[in-house]
Amino acid sequence: MQENIGRIAPPGSTGIKIIVVGAGYAGLACAIECTRKGHDVVILERVQKLKVLGDILSLGPNAGRILARWGLHDRVWAVCGHHPCMNLHNHLGELVRVQKFEQPKFGAYSYNGHRAEIHRILYEHAEELGISIRMGEEVTEYWEDGRRGVSGVVLRGGERLEADMVVAADGVRSFARKFVLDYQDKPKPSGYAVYRAWFDAAEQGVDTDPLTRHMVTNGDVFYGWIGQDVHFLTTSNLGGKSISWVITHKDDTELLDTSSLPGKMEDVLKIVEGWDPRCAAILSKAPECVDWKLTVHDPLPTWVSKGRRIILIGDAAHPFLPTSIQGASQAIEDGVTLATVLQIAGKDNIPVALQAWEKIRYQRVRNAQLMGESTRDKWHQAKPEDKGEQLDLPMPEWLFAFDAEAHAYKVFDEVRKGIERDGYRLPSLA
């Protein structure tokens, strides 16, 4: 099956009809790869039209490999910052590590750009492939019928849609989760929050302040500062045109209904009192910022519904902390793996394909999630005198050299045989 990697099947050739709920990174990536694999897809998205939401988003080479296969490298590269290294400092401003970034690494590129810009490229590519994207359609009900081997959704407004399966890519506050699990999974506070911002460098005078000028006079740069229970990362992007920053800090406030609020600059600046003055200088340039409470979810016991016709992918299945820098990459891997196992299994074997998909994805996703916690803890517990590569952002081969499509072709038969031999058990974690 290895020879199938990257090949595009004729449209509708597998006869598998799929409803994808949500046009975020997970939903779009899934729909794109499913179309490439010959499945027949419709996307349902609640919002009427795309909005510019969020700020910096990173994709690792494990996702970059997939974007390149889709022919999107040049388009995505053009909207991204290009940072040759990360200059990491302790809170007093002493340089403790310069981590060089190889591009490409393990044969593929990583990307750091505005969430909305990269998202728009994926959206337009889905349109180019002729995928039906129904904007302004909110799913209010999920259903499945094991006897007929179908599942579907009901839209606000009452329309009932049917397909061979439904992919719920409806994000961290997933409504589908309750249908799949039969209970309401509640997020828990992680004990941390981030303030984050993205703004135009020239408009905010970044080039005229001697404390911030270094951000925009040497091409794109990536600076970081670490202190007790805090880390602060900032980049300039597109040749110094825009600045993004994210500061992660302790936050024990109670969870509100919405986890993202406008941030107050005086609260942000309190975090870096007594720090290298470059921190307050760049932070205070932001005209506004977001206060984003970071939540954690216990790993869900399963991502597959009882009738094995509805699945959760992306943040709906496994929300990520920003320090993992893998949320969107794992969402993309989910979709590619799914499309591939469905192609191999065929229309008559969708339930076993979904079980195999879950087995293939479950432990890998968990390992990537845990990396977010370990990087945060490593930086937050570092002593001011700590230096060197122990402070690096991890770039493990198991994570970045991975090819989700090739892996699915390689292991699917073995995983399926295991399920048929032993019966399916809910995934467990090592």
Ligand X SMILES: Cc1cc2nc3c(=O)[nH]c(=O)nc-3n(C[C@H](O)[C@H](O)[C@H](O)COP(=O)(O)OP(=O)(O)OC[C@H]3O[C@@H](n4cnc5c(N)ncnc54)[C@H](O)[C@@H]3O)c2cc1C
Given the rule CB under 6 A, which residues bind ligand X? 21-27, 44-47, 53-57, 115, 138-139, 169-172, 175, 314-316, 320, 322, 327-328, 331
Helix (H, G, I), strand (E, B) or coil at 156: coil
Of 111 and 175, which has the nearer Cβ to ligand X?
175
Cα 238 to Cα 79: distance, rounded to the nearest angstrom: 7
Strand locations in 34-131, DSSP E? 40-45, 56-59, 80-81, 85-90, 95-100, 111-114
Of 14 and 326, which has the nearer Cβ to ligand X?
326
User: What minimum distance in Å lies between the beta carbon of 210 and ligand X?
Assistant: 29
For residue 355, give the H/E element and its range.
Answer: helix 350-380
Of 330 and 355, which has the nearer Cβ to ligand X?
330
Catalytic residue among 115, 196, 308, 416: 196
Cα 144 to Cα 315: distance, rounded to the nearest angstrom: 22
Which pair of structure tokens corresponds to residue 12? Answer: 């509708």
Cα 167 to Cα 294: distance, rounded to the nearest angstrom: 25
Of 91 and 318, which has the nearer Cβ to ligand X?
318
User: What minimum distance in Å lies between the beta carbon of 383 and ligand X?
Assistant: 29
Of 118 and 206, which has the nearer Cβ to ligand X?
118
Which pair of structure tokens corresponds to residue 422? Answer: 């032993």
User: What minimum distance in Å lies between the beta carbon of 156 and ligand X?
Assistant: 8
Cα 84 to Cα 55: distance, rounded to the nearest angstrom: 20
Of 276 and 334, which has the nearer Cβ to ligand X?
334
User: What minimum distance in Å lies between the beta carbon of 278 and ligand X?
Assistant: 23
User: What minimum distance in Å lies between the beta carbon of 233 and ligand X?
Assistant: 12
CB atoms within 10 A of CB 82: 18
- Estimate the crossing angle of helix 327-345 against helix 61-69, to 10 degrees: 50
196 is catalytic: yes
Cα 143 to Cα 180: distance, rounded to the nearest angstrom: 10
User: What minimum distance in Å lies between the beta carbon of 263 and ligand X?
Assistant: 14
Of 365 and 408, which has the nearer Cβ to ligand X?
365
Beta bridge partners of 235: 222, 244
User: What minimum distance in Å lies between the beta carbon of 19 and ligand X?
Assistant: 10
Residue 398 burial class via C-beta count within 10 angstroms: exposed 0-12, middle 13-18, buried 19 and up: exposed
For residue 120, give the H/E element and its range.
Answer: helix 115-128
Sequence letter at residue 52? V
Residue 78 burial class via C-beta count within 10 angstroms: exposed 0-12, middle 13-18, buried 19 and up: exposed
Q: Which residue has the tokens 């905010």?
A: 204
Helix (H, G, I), strand (E, B) or coil at 163: strand
Which pair of structure tokens corresponds to residue 125? Answer: 């590519």
Q: How many residues does the chain have?
A: 430
Which pair of structure tokens corresponds to residue 195? Answer: 């303030």
Of 136 and 205, which has the nearer Cβ to ligand X?
136
Helix (H, G, I), strand (E, B) or coil at 349: helix
User: What minimum distance in Å lies between the beta carbon of 114 and ligand X?
Assistant: 8
Sequence letter at residue 102? E
Cα 39 to Cα 43: distance, rounded to the nearest angstrom: 13
Q: Which residues form the catalytic set?
A: 196
